[in-house]
Amino acid sequence: MFEGQHYQNGYITRNIEKAIERFRQNSDVVEVASYEVPVEITTAKGKGTAVSKLAFIWVNNLQYELIEPVSGLVDVYTDELPDDDSVKFHHSCMRVADWDDFRSRVDEMGYPVVIEGGSDQLKFLYLDAREVVGHYLEYVWMTPERWKVLGGS
């Protein structure tokens, strides 16, 4: 279940602008990459689009991902949202070197895949590991070029 390079913690919120401002006030934030993005995914409900506002903030060697769900297949986020504009821890994310090898073993791990999607440059999925660690686990694979775009080194 635990493999790859842990590089990100993901948080959900109802107000991404307030969350970004709180990070700026409480951390040595150099840059925030934020955008609203539609992503084609597969969930237990089927295939479709999830639209979310995202912000990526690096603090030292850890990336913080802020997620404000907007529309579509975003239940994995909206079902867990806090009642107010605070942030709530949602998942940790690990980067794997070989997606095909990793993906071939996912079903044997015994944790439901709740979201899966991606492209030729980046693939991702979330495992529901809440019974074990209290949160979701996201796994990603990406090209070196995509890693650099996301601020990785």
More confident site: 129 or 28: 129
DSSP, res 76: H
* C-beta separation of 88 from 65 below 8 A: no
Mean pLDDT of 131-152: 93
pLDDT at position 1? 65
Confidence band, pLDDT 50/70/90 cuts, at residue 151: confident
Q: Which residues pair with 97 in a beta bridge?
A: none
Q: pTM of whole model > 0.85? A: yes
Is CATH 3.10.180.10 the classification given to domain 5-149? Answer: yes
Question: What CA–CA distance (Å, rounded) separates 86 from 18?
Answer: 8
Question: What CA–CA distance (Å, rounded) separates 142 from 105?
Answer: 18
**What H or E segment, with its residue span, contains residue 45?**
none
Give 3-58 pLDDT, tens digit per residue: 999 999 999 999 999 999 999 999 888 789 999 999 999 999 999 999 999 999 99
* C-beta separation of 137 from 92 below 8 A: yes
Give 72-125 pLDDT, tens digit per residue: 999 999 999 999 999 999 999 999 999 999 999 998 999 999 999 999 999 999
